[in-house]
Amino acid sequence: MATTILPIDEVTAALIAEWGAIRDLAGSLDDESWSAPSVLPGWTNADIVAHIVGTESMLDGRDVEATRTVSALDHVRNPIGELNEKWVDHFRPKPRTEVLDALDEIIEVRTAALRAMTQDEFDAAAMTPAGADTYGRFMRIRIFDCWVHEIDLRDGTDHSALTDSHPARWALDEICASLPFVVGKRADAPKGSNVLFDVTGPAPRTVRIAVADRAGVVDEFDGGDSAADVRIRLDGVNLARFAGGRRDADPSGVELDGDEALGQAILKRMNYVI
């Protein structure tokens, strides 16, 4: 059921800004960094850029022919991974200028398509990577995916800091919407548990999760924040690395206060990205 209603102008502006950040970063890489192995298994930094082009191209209704069977690759774990790899393979032999030109072209096409949409169209039911929801939710997931890949590119090259907090807000909204699933399902927090996340960095927020029959976000705990069984404090960029199962996720950058075992279980099972 479509439930996530988001403001089209704000989400669209954030996604366009994130595409621009990736384009600027990709265009600034020297040839060695462009071709170097990325933080993602099996991919170069150029492959990350190609993946962004490929996903937006699929959303524009385009397709490419597979050049090999990729299902047996260690880093391909599901049909979505196979689709991703097909597009990466398509762009891998192409020169850098052609990949960047393809990025420019698809950004222009997708920007025009989003700006032509109405709020009702943005609210319409759609199948997203997180299941059935709205097209707007899908675009928030696109912000999250692109933002995480910007982090990947920075982690794999000069380790520079993010420069725009606007996309970070929406990307972290998407991550935080999945934290009840992480706490309740993946970490199997016991019924009655209260977990508080203090997220610092580019778009700070406090997220409170109470585990009843299901885990869910609450505005406050009975008894206030002191009723939290564990308090987890970490930077939003580090949270994104944990959510994506990135090798650069830094446990030393996480502060746990309270139930250490529960906190560690949550961190170890934070990787929910397919």
- The type of residue at 39 is V
Confidence at 178, pLDDT banded by 50, 70, 90: very high
Average pLDDT, integer, range 112-124: 98
The pairing of beta strand 205-211 with beta strand 194-200? antiparallel
List domains and CATH numbers for the chain.
8-165 (1.20.120.450), 178-268 (3.30.1050.10)
CB 87, CB 60: distance < 8 Å: no
pLDDT value of position 165: 86
Percent of the chain whose predicted confidence (pLDDT) is above 90 = 87
Reported pTM: 0.94
Average pLDDT, integer, range 254-261: 98
CB 96, CB 109: distance < 8 Å: no
Is 93's pLDDT higher than 60? yes
Give residue-wise pLDDT tens across range 25-78. 999 999 999 999 999 999 999 999 999 999 999 999 998 887 766 654 555 555
Average pLDDT, integer, range 224-240: 97
Average pLDDT, the chain: 93
Sequence-distant (≥ 6) Cβ neighbours of residue 160 within 8 angstroms: 154
